[in-house]
Amino acid sequence: MKRIIFPKSLRTGDKIAVISPAGAVEPSQLEKGIEMIRNKGYEPVLGEHLYSNFSNGYHYAGTEKERIKDINWALNDNEISAVWASRGGYGCQHLLQNIDLKKFHKDPKWYIGYSDNTVIQSYLLKHGFASIHGQTIKTSSFGATEESYDLIFDLLNGKSLEYDLKSHDLNKMGICEGQLVGGNLALIYALLGTDYSFKFKNRILFIEDIGENFYALDRMIMSLELAGVFRKIKGLIIGGMTNMGNEKENAHYEDSFDEFAYKLISDRISKYDFPVVFGFPNGHIKDNRPLIIGGNVKLEVEDKVKIEFEIK
């Protein structure tokens, strides 16, 4: 397995680039997040096209060329110490064939985001760099807890992560250790069979999603099954499954950890014996606590759940 590089810790006064690699965003939606960066002692630097809006079947934060320009600037500018996505949405896949890491290789920095940003994090990991799967600058309609952000700043300051969770009825007991991969299930699914897909062998997989019909969720899980993903991984962590389904008899629109979605996943993976954690607080939910994509994680699923990250 390729040695994973963890970006250096930030110091007071360091610059954090804020960019929009996917969906369009309004200035009012980022005011609190940008001010939070200042209050934590860092300098936010806004991408040239942060607030651009290009409509092409979806409201993107600028044309593909504009978004590529911003991400390549943020990743390679020597004055920038971290890159924080304003939001997800859709559009990060457009950038993959044109991301430039020439200077980034010499001066890697943390990339922070979730949802559609999963594809950027997969790209970085394939090149040997860890990233933070955590809350974007723009919060969703659910809001975001202070801890969702505070834990990200802890990581930027060089601290590691450790979580102790209550058990879930669908959990599968066991202990395993390996590199964490994954993120938003729809994007993991979209990358299957491409050069940009995560590697799954001996990894621990994390998945979360929002707004999928139950049959679409089943289709994605079945695609992972048919691709041999569940035969390869050592463990599985399932986060938020929010606003899932439109079948009236089963839908739980206000439930961030949809019971029917969880049961569907549990049934599909029942023949495997790796440890499984349901209900991890990460995803399109208010309590969106960060995970390190590419980090080595020890997973203990017993009467309680313990998840420890090792940063080297």
Residue ranges and CATH numbers for the domains of the chain are 15-156 (3.40.50.10740), 163-310 (3.50.30.60)
Look up 79 and say whether it is catalytic. no
Is residue 312 very low, low, confident or very high in pLDDT (cuts 50, 70, 90)?
Answer: low
State the Rg of the chain over Cα.
18
Across residues 190-208, what is the average pLDDT? Answer: 98
Candidate list 20, 81, 86, 115, residue with the active-site label: 115
Q: Of residues 131, 208, 212, 256, which has the active-site annotation?
A: 208
Catalytic residue among 86, 256, 284, 300: 284
Reading the block at residue 290, the tokens are: 């960060």
**208 catalytically annotated:** yes
**299 bridge partner residues:** 176, 307
Give 101-125 pLDDT, tens digit per residue.
999 999 999 999 999 999 999 999 9
pLDDT of residue 256: 87
Kindly tell me the burial class for residue 226, based on how many C-beta atoms sit within 10 Å of its own C-beta (0-12, 13-18, 19 or more). exposed
Whether the predicted pLDDT of 128 surpasses 70: yes
The partner residues of 304 in beta bridges, in order of sequence, read: 166
**167 classed as catalytic:** no
pLDDT tens digits, 232-250: 999 999 999 999 987 555 5
